[in-house]
Amino acid sequence: MERNPVLMGFFLFYINDEIMSTVSYYTAEGLKKLREELDYLKSVMRPKASQDIADARDKGDLSENAEYDAAKEAQGMLEMRIAKLEEVHSNARLIDETQLDMSKVLVLSNVKIKNQANGMEMKYTLVAESEADLKTGKISVTSPIGRGLLGKSVGEVAEITVPNGVLKFEILEVSRD
C-alpha cells in the first residue's frame, strides 16, 4: 500500500482514503506530562479498577449486581483511555527547538499580536493541542487562531476566520524562551 504523507500544521497524516497514522509533536514538558498520566493510569488506576470489580463480585449474584456492572464499565473506560494514550505516546515526537526558524511563527513560538479592529495586544505561546491552556497563554497550533498565525513573520497581518467573522491580527513580535 502506497502512503502519501501530508503535513498539516504539526500533524503528519498518511492518506489513502483514510488516515493511517498521526504524528504529534510535543515539548519536553508536554511529553513528560503524557508519560506521567499514562504511568499513573497503569500503575494506580488499573489495579484500583481490578480491586473494585473483585469487591463488587464478592457481594453476591452478578446478574443483579449494579455495583459490579458499574465497576466493569469503569474498567472498560479506563482501558480505552490507556489505549488512546499509548497510541498518542507511540506517535509522539519531541520537538528539537534548535531546528526551528526563529523569524516565523511556529510551534513553541511566543507571539505578540495586535487585534487591528480594537487595538488590543495579546501574547500567546503556540503549543501542541494536548498542551494548550488558555489561562496560561498557551494556544494550540490546531486552533483557528493558531493555524492563522503559523508561518507568519513580524509585520505581517494574519486574517483568521472565526465564527463571528474575520479577525485581523498584526504580528508584533516572535520569540522563543
CA-to-CA distance for 177 and 162, rounded, in angstroms?
29
Task: Please tell me whether residues 105 and 136 are part of one structural domain.
Answer: yes
Read out DSSP for 71-140?
A: HHHHHHHHHHHHHHHHHHHHTEEE--GGGS-TTB--TT-EEEEEETTT--EEEEEEE-GGG-BGGGTEEE
> pLDDT tens digits, residue range 124-171?
998 877 788 889 999 988 888 988 998 898 999 999 888 888 999 999
User: Residue 101's pLDDT is what?
Assistant: 62
Domain edge (last residue) among 59, 75, 94? 94
Q: Domain residues for 74?
A: 24-94
Read off the DSSP letter of residue 62. G
Is residue 12 domain-resident?
A: no
CATH number, position 67: 1.10.287.180
Domain limit, last residue, from 66, 94, 122: 94
The residue to which cell 522563543 is assigned? 176
Contacts of 23 (CB under 8 A, 6+ apart): 11, 12, 91, 92, 93
Here the CATH number for the domain that contains residue 128 is: 3.10.50.30
**65-116 per-position pLDDT tens digit:** 888 889 999 999 999 999 988 988 888 877 766 666 677 888 778 899 999 9
Query: Are residues 104 and 145 both part of a single domain?
Result: yes
Instruction: Give 58: exposed, middle or buried? Use CB within 10 Å, 0-12, 13-18, 19+.
Output: exposed
Kindly state whether residue 4 falls inside one of the protein's structural domains: no
Are 102 and 155 in the same domain? yes
The β-bridge partners of 106 are none
